[in-house]
Structure 1
Amino acid sequence: MFKAYIGGPIYAALGNHDSVPTNLESPHSIDRNGPLGQQFSWHYDHISKLWEHYGWIDNATQTQASLHYGGYSIGHPLGLRIITINTDFWYQANIFAFLHADNPDYSGIFSFLVEELQKAEDEGQRVWIMGHVPTGWQGQNALPGGSDAFYQIIERYSPHVIANVFFGHTHEGTNNGTLQTAYDALVAAWTGPSLTPLTNLNSGYRLYEVDTGTWEIFEAYTYYADVNTFTTLNGTGPVFQLEYSTREAYSPAADWPEGEPLNATFWHRVTEAMEKDKGLVSLFNTYQGKSSIRSPNCTSDACAAGKICYIRSGSTALGRACPQGFGSVQSPYTGVNF
């Protein structure tokens, strides 16, 4: 359906619900290429061949995706390099990620990422990295070792190579943190909203306006469908409408120039504005839930401090140092924060 409606190239990154059983991926080397290490190979082979079959990737990319746990590196026709990685190897719900946890690159996924980033640097290409499970936010999703390794890679190749990072998983429509040094915000990690209205959220998606010279994002439009109205639609399905423009929502408070991209520095300026105006945090919280009537409010000083800290936290260590308890909307069936 995506291919039919979009028409252009489609690039996929595997998530924790894309495996059977869910959440689980094991490195090939976990038992020296024995049956345990190969037990998920069928998954990577199958999904990559489906991508090739439907024209999403070519045969060479399919071979690469099959080898690298569904991750691959591919050139966009306009010059951007897109690198997708399997983030289950740092996901805390993947029990296989705890084996050999002293070596966060036991799967080899980070070696693959570095090799591709180095090629991009050598060739003067800009890169978008796409994954599913975020490394930061409140620090409850990614294991510390994998998150730290990724953070170091981001620091090495940003911002001259890596233009943006994209995550999913939380189902929310927010920015998921600025990956930064002690002095500079390096790159923004965007978290796309989900069509799935899981965890008491509305259904949503996002469109980006991109400068195809620098591959910086200049505008982001988030659309949503109000789940509370679905029963009155007489079977026509969800009706989507514009929820907000990122630039219009945050640029005035951040005093951000019209001709500048919505980069990591922009988001850091937004958090500085939030420290002065708690109403901006409340607005962010509304958009985080895609304007869901079930989203808890965020009007207390403690919640505001937590949200601001999460936005600035691109790693598990930074996220866990933030005030806890304000990370996401609670799941209706587990009672835990995602």
Structure 2
Amino acid sequence: MIRLKHDAHPDRRTFLRLLLSGLGAGAAALAVPPLGLAAKPGDPAVLCTEGDPASFTASDPASRGRFLIFSDVHFDPFADPSRVKALAAAPAGSWREILAAPGQGLGPYGKDTGDALFQSFLDDMARRLPDPDFLLFPGDMLCHDFWTLYPRLSGDASPQGLLAFIAKTAEYFLTEVTRRFPGASLYPALGNNDSAEGDYGIAPQSPFLLATAPLAARLALKDDASRARFLESYPRLGCYSLTLPGPAGARLVVFNNIFWTKRSPHQDAGAAVRDFLERELDAAARQGVKVWLMGHVPPGDNTKATATKFRKTGKDVYDPLLTGGWSGVHAELLVRHADTVRASLAGHVHRDEFRLVSPWPGEAPVSALRMAPSISPITGNNPGYQVYAYDRRTMDLLDQTTHYLDLGAQSPAWAEEYVWSRAYGRGLRAPKDWQEMYQELLTCPERRAAFARGFDLRSRHVREVTRRTFPVVWDSLGLSPGGPAGT
């Protein structure tokens, strides 16, 4: 069992020097990196290369699988306050009729996901990929302020009434997702808003876990073995492990790292989650089984908040999403089990981001973590979801297509935002591919601009990656067990 000291955080600019000095061949080209979002007269030579097509090509055509991932829906049954009492009085099976009544638009920036936006993104996913191998949901099903909105708008201040309404919201959510994809399992994780106790308030054996476990087992999972595995552990900690469909026999390990966050009142439960992860990963390593990991909150820096603070104050301050110790544990597990963990996924940040994880600052990455953007536009981003291609035989991720809805357009319509391999010249299969993409954000203006557009999904409401903030954002994309920066 690993116990690390995580209080030594290298200075960001020291890290940048470490990175540039450790790149070997090509380091000279990065010595004065062009940090703007487009090439300008006087910039150093532009370096844009094409990677190996094998990085986004399956081992054989039959091995190419696809899955859907969407995150941070923050479904808002209170979007129309006049319908809340009717929803509270009705079974979940009647909610579609109540919520589909005329009068709801897709909603503005700064609000969570009402039913019109909920139905819109589900319909678009089903149109673009009607037969995914499975769906992943890294958490945050419930809207913000759910626990205060329900009693105020329903007139029912009882804990029993709140829990019943949460359960009906979960049932409606799961039913609407799975009716579009009747043959595919939906694998959910817990978000910080997914609780009966309040934001970040989930406790072990929470009423939320006990109320939603049978719903998820019945509606989201498609086979009895998966349901049994899920119900063994989810009601206690919100963690579970089961076998993904496909020939590889790979394992999906879903863990509840809300206990690892700074705002959790139950951080003492974090050790049990760590122990669960270590048992699962150690067992998979012994058995030679490939693993995909999914939790809600990524390790490392709060990129968006750090960039915003830097833009306003000029101060570049590391602001971890998890506590410093748990962020290091998360990164260390990814490093130690890099040969076993073929994919690591999260949500929470409401942005299209990633993390490259290195054993130590200045070293090449050995693992990567991908963060799905949000459906909710509450933080000014456009809604978005992703289609991933992966190799069913090796369980390597290959490519990613992001779809988005431009809420600022005169007639909003879902569209393809970008394809990873086209935008960055390479796929997602191996650490070499990740490092090359990350490195070329410094040297290739077109790819840097593509990253800036995609970060908040081309929002007309916010612009967070600019010429000034890009160095801070770029730095935040890396981490290591010993500190905030990696690769």
TM-score class, shorter: 0.7 to 0.9
2:484 corresponds in structure 1 to 318
Contact between 1:151 and 1:315, CA under 8 Å: does it hold in 2? yes
Letter in 2 for 1:181: P
Partner of 1:24: 201
CA deviation map 1:187-243 (0-9, x unaligned): 1111111111121011110000000111111110000011123xx65xxxx631110
Partner SS for 1:185: coil
Provide the residue aligned with 2:293 in structure 1: 129
Aligned partners of 1:137 and 1:315 also within 8 Å? no
The superposition leaves residues 128-181 of structure 1 with CA deviations (integer Å, 9 ceiling, x where unpaired) of: 1001111114443111111111122111111x100011010011122x211112
Q: 1:71 to 1:189 in 2, by over 3 A?
A: same
Aligned residue identity for 2:373: P
How do 1:1-338 residues align onto structure 2 when only pairs under 5 Å count?
1-6=176-181, 7-20=183-196, 21-26=198-203, 28=204, 40-56=205-221, 57-67=226-236, 69-78=237-246, 79-97=249-267, 106-138=270-302, 139-158=319-338, 160-174=339-353, 176-182=354-360, 183-229=363-409, 239-251=413-425, 256=426, 261-296=428-463, 298-300=465-467, 302-313=468-479, 317-318=483-484
Distance 1:136 1:190 in 2: 12
CA contact (8 A) 2:452 2:466 kept: no
The answer on whether the counterparts of 1:177 and 1:312 sit within 8 Å (CA) in structure 2 is yes
Unpaired runs of 5+ in structure 1? 29-39, 322-338
Instruction: Give distance in 1, aligned partners of 2:375 and 2:482.
Output: 26
Give how far 1:315 is off.
6.2
Partner secondary structure for residue 199 of structure 2: coil
Residues 177 and 314, structure 1, Cα contact 8 Å, conserved in 2: no
Q: Work out the CA distance in 1 between the residues paired with 2:241 and 2:374.
A: 24
Structure 2 distance, partners of 1:168, 1:315, is: 20
Q: Following TM superposition, where does structure 1 have runs of at least 4 consecutive aligned residues deviating by more than 4 angstroms? A: none
Distance 1:303 1:106, change over 3 A: closer
Aligned residues: 285
- SS of 2:231's equivalent in the other structure is helix
Counterpart AA for 1:311: L
Contact preservation (8 Å) 1:188, 1:263? no
TM-score, normalisation: structure 1 = 0.78
The question of whether the paired residues in 1 share the 8 Å contact of 2:320 and 2:327 is answered with: no
Tell me, in whole angstroms, the C-alpha distance in 2 between the residues paired with 1:203 and 1:52: 27
The 2-side partners of 1:219 and 1:188 are apart by: 14
CA distance in 2, matches of 1:279, 1:218: 21
C-alpha spacing 1:140/1:133, structure 2 compared with 1 (3 Å) = same
Distance 1:54 1:310 in 2: 38
Q: SS of the residue aligned with 1:147?
A: helix
Q: Which of 1 and 2 has higher RCO (CA within 8 Å, sep 6+)? A: 2
- What is the SS of the residue equivalent to 1:209? strand
Superposed CA offset, 1:51-77 (max 9, x none): 11215241342122113x111000012
How far is 1:82 from its partner?
0.2
Counterpart residue type for residue 77 of structure 1: P
Instruction: Name the aligned partner's letter for residue 162 of structure 1.
Output: V
Query: Would the alpha carbon gap of residues 279 and 77 (structure 1) be closer, same or farther in structure 2, given more than 3 Å must change?
Result: closer
CA distance in 1, matches of 2:326, 2:386: 28
Cα separation, partners in 2 of 1:261 and 1:267, compared to 1, 3 Å: closer
Query: Is the Cα–Cα contact under 8 Å of residues 391 and 398 in structure 2 kept in the other structure?
Result: yes
TM-score by length of 2: 0.55
Measured in 1, the distance between the counterparts of 2:466 and 2:259 equals 36
Secondary structure at 2:438's aligned position in 1? helix
Q: Match for residue 24 of structure 2?
A: none
CA contact (8 A) 1:186 1:264 kept: yes
How well do the aligned residues superpose, as a CA RMSD in angstroms?
2.2
Following superposition, the deviation at residue 80 of structure 1 comes to 1.5
- Percent of matched pairs sharing the same residue: 22
Q: Distance in 1 between matches of 2:480 and 2:211?
A: 32
Tell me which structure has the larger Cα radius of gyration: 2
